[in-house]
Amino acid sequence: MSVKYIPVQWNPNKWIYDGIMLAGVAAFLWVFIHVTPEILSHERPINSQVHNARAFGACAFLMLSIILAIGPLAKLDTRFMPLLYNRRHFGVMTAFVATAHAGYILNWYFAFSFVPKWDALILSNTNYGQLLGFPFEALGAFALVILLILAATSHDFWLKFLTAPVWKRLHYLIYLAYVSVVAHISLGILQDQQSLFLPVFFIVTAFLVALLHVWAYLAERKTGDPLASAEGDWMRVCQADEIDEGRARIALLPDGKRVAVFKHEGKLSAISNACAHQNGPLGEGRIIDCLVTCPWHGFQYRVTDGQSPAPFTEKIPTYNLRVQDGAVLVDPKANPPGTHVDPVEVA
């Protein structure tokens, strides 16, 4: 929400968030790298490069799974919303951990040859026609490229520059990356592993992530935002008395956009449901200090004109509305972002 961009807009919650995340990553890696060699009773130890590669690879998979679980969890139970707040830092850290995994592999399995490493990565196994012995490294590399693109475009500048919908579509690639990672593991280490912990953990985790998403989707379909119904040229959103003070009702308009009708000090105002920042659902937010507050990252707007208070410059479209026989009607044609509309008295 800054007027000028800075590298990271730190605040105490982000420090705590990153602190917990880094503590988790450090705990994972420290236990895996320094504690487990003492526990393993092998006659000769696993090469440290491979041991490290496994530590970072497994850690990246777990991190990615946690990241992908946050979205549906927050949809199913709003208490998880704080985990969403700084998820991008979690993602960037995952890209670093995954890169370390790739680095250990590249500098071990693909090193020591007269063939340059990057060439070796591509040409040493070309068994694309067979699942057993498939070049699963390519699947991991593909996922890593996606993680790097997402990490590299995580700054708020990219949201504004690409626009939130384009940015979101780009970041939907995370699902493709996860599928690719699941294939990378399924056709790679899963084929070799004799002991049961890794396969069971991997399969349970991947299915849990898949299940959470399907569950969240079904829940969203069941309790999702209703379609506004036409009343002449206007669209009916809800009954005026259904809206609580400081809260909103959301309706889907024919053009695919959503409108949020807020009640503030007893009067109604209609604004775009999509936050200018990341298209977060403003209508699921609240009015705090007279400002509509986005549930995702706390961006704030005046309910009457859709403008962020100075010094901030974000703007969202507003909608004209009226109340007729107790029903809230909205003009489906949005006003330009920042247009003032007088709040409507509930009749």
> Where in 174-213 is the site for other proteins (CB under 8 A)?
175, 178-179, 182-183, 185-198, 201, 203, 206-207, 209-211, 213
Beta-carbon-side half-sphere exposure of residue 129 (alpha carbons within 13 Å): 0
Q: How far apart, in whole angstroms, are the C-alpha atoms of residue 62 and residue 29?
A: 12
Is residue 254 close enough to count as binding other proteins by CB under 8 A?
no
Where does the chain have alpha helices with state H? 12-30, 36-39, 48-76, 81-85, 87-106, 117-123, 136-152, 156-162, 164-171, 173-186, 189-192, 197-223
Helices 197-223 and 173-186, packing angle to 10 deg: 150
Site for other proteins in 97-116 (CB under 8 A): 108-116
Among 249, 285, 292, 344, binds other proteins (CB under 8 A): 285
- The nearer residue to other proteins, 79 or 325, going by C-beta atoms, is 79
Across the strands, what pairs with 264?
267
| Closest separation in Å from C-beta 330 to other proteins | 14
Site for other proteins in 116-145 (CB under 8 A): 116, 118-127, 129-133, 135-137, 145
- The nearer residue to other proteins, 125 or 324, going by C-beta atoms, is 125
Contact range with other proteins by CB under 8 A, out of 23-31, 233-241, 261-269, 338-346: 23-31
Site for other proteins in 259-278 (CB under 8 A): 272-274, 276
| Closest separation in Å from C-beta 228 to other proteins | 15
Among 60, 64, 67, 85, binds other proteins (CB under 8 A): 85
Is 54:190 a contact under the CB 8 Å cutoff? no
Site for other proteins in 299-328 (CB under 8 A): 313, 316-317
- The nearer residue to other proteins, 115 or 327, going by C-beta atoms, is 115
Site for other proteins in 215-244 (CB under 8 A): 216-217, 219-221, 223-224, 244
Is 346:323 a contact under the CB 8 Å cutoff? yes
How many residues of this chain bind other proteins (CB under 8 A)? 159
| Closest separation in Å from C-beta 76 to other proteins | 6
Is residue 165 close enough to count as binding other proteins by CB under 8 A?
yes
Distances (CA, A) of 180 to 14, 53, 136, 176, 336: 30, 18, 9, 6, 41
- The nearer residue to other proteins, 122 or 327, going by C-beta atoms, is 122
Cα-flanking dihedrals φ and ψ of residue 195, to 5°?
-75, 160
Site for other proteins in 29-58 (CB under 8 A): 29-33, 35-36, 39-40, 42-47, 50-51, 54-55, 58
Torsion of CA 310, 313, 280, 83, to 10 degrees: -60
- The nearer residue to other proteins, 235 or 276, going by C-beta atoms, is 276
- The nearer residue to other proteins, 234 or 299, going by C-beta atoms, is 299
Is 344:333 a contact under the CB 8 Å cutoff? no
- The nearer residue to other proteins, 162 or 323, going by C-beta atoms, is 162
Which one-letter DSSP state was computed for residue 240?
A: G
Q: How far apart, in whole angstroms, are the C-alpha atoms of residue 285 and residue 301?
A: 11
| Closest separation in Å from C-beta 324 to other proteins | 25
Is residue 295 close enough to count as binding other proteins by CB under 8 A?
yes
| 3-class DSSP assignment, residue 131 | coil
| Length of the chain as a residue count | 347
| Closest separation in Å from C-beta 345 to other proteins | 24
Which one-letter DSSP state was computed for residue 77?
A: -
- The nearer residue to other proteins, 153 or 320, going by C-beta atoms, is 153
Q: How far apart, in whole angstroms, are the C-alpha atoms of residue 102 and residue 118?
A: 12
Look up residue 287 and give its amino acid: I
